[in-house]
Structures are given as structure tokens and as C-alpha cells.
Amino acid sequence: MLNFTLPLLAYCFGSISSAIIVCRIMRLPDPRTSGSNNPGATNVLRIGGKKAAAITLIGDLLKGLVPMLIAKMLTDNATVIALVGVFAFMGHLYPVFFGYKGGKGVATATGVFIGLSWSLTLVLLAIWLSMAVLFRYSSLAALTAAALAPVVVLWLLPGLPFFLLTLVIAVFLFWRHWENLSRLLSGQENKIGN
């Protein structure tokens, strides 16, 4: 029963939209209809400033981290833990409580990775920082780290469940960032600090 309940609860927890809740509490415009129309921390930064964005970012990160930590406390079944990560992430992307219109998933994916393995997170953070410093594109840095996550997890946590977890996350991160990819290819993506 736990094997089915944990992923379902992870999806419900992931479906709590930090951006929408923060914007409502702080009396800011709805992030789904303002700025980039994306209910994520970057758009909240645009429409509400640093404090609102920081709270949103922490909330989104916890949506990935908390379910993973709970799952790891309750089971050592790698498949169940991986499913919890996928479902928490999908809850953020397609939240049942907010019309299935969610964010792009980077912060929640980061929370999932932290909950899965600190060593994995540190390697991916090093990749992100290297790309961000070299090219100054946050989206490029995030997508590079996402693309390499399945390779890194094979190195650090061999096994099919965690490989598939990182692969699913990487595929959906690329899917949700297709506009960023298009702007990167056309040279129109904003650089960090611009």
C-alpha cells in the first residue's frame, strides 16, 4: 500500500504552487497571467521582487526535497523512491490544485536531487556553476546539468530506477524550456545579470 500512497502524496505535495500562494499572500499579480505567465521563482522575481522570489524558490525546492526524505525514511525500495521523485516533480509541472498549469521545474528537480544524494547535487551544482560562469546563461547552465544528470547518477548511484528518475526529469526540463532553447539558438536569451 505504501508503494502506491507515497508517490500519490508526493504528487499532491508537488501540486502546491508556491508561486501562486506567495503572490496571493503578498497581494501580487497572478504569475500565471503576469510577466512570463510562468508560476515559478524567476517570474515572481519579475513581478514581485527578491523577497517573494526567494520564498517561492525555497517552497519549490522543498516540494522536491520533503517527499524524497520521507520516502527514504519509510522505504529502501529504489523504485518507490524514484517514483516519489518523479511524482513530486510532475506535481510541480502539472499541479492538480491549480488547473495543471505549473512552473518549469528546476527548483523542484533540485530538491529531488538533494533528497536523492548530496554527492549528485554537488556534482550537478558544479556543472551549473561552470556553465553559468563560462556562458552567463542560467537556462543553458540548468539544461546542461539536467542533460548530464542521468550520466552522473549512473556513476554515483548505479541502478535503473534512479537513472530513469533523472532521465524523466531531464526530458521534461528540456520540454518545459523549449522557448529558452529557441532563444538560446537565436541569440535572444537574457544573460545572467542583464
| 109-163 per-position pLDDT tens digit | 999 999 999 999 999 999 999 999 999 988 899 999 999 999 999 999 989 999 9
Round to whole Å and give the CA distance between 12 and 17: 10
Round to whole Å and give the CA distance between 125 and 149: 10
Nearest-10 Cα torsion for 10, 59, 31, 176 = -50
Residue type, 7: P
84 CA to centre of own chain: 14
For residue 45, pLDDT over 80 is answered with: yes
Q: What is the CA radius of gyration of the chain?
A: 16
What pLDDT score was predicted for residue 194? Answer: 60
Q: Cell triple for residue 113?
A: 536531487
For residue 179, pLDDT over 70 is answered with: yes
For residue 20, pLDDT over 90 is answered with: yes
For residue 193, pLDDT over 70 is answered with: no
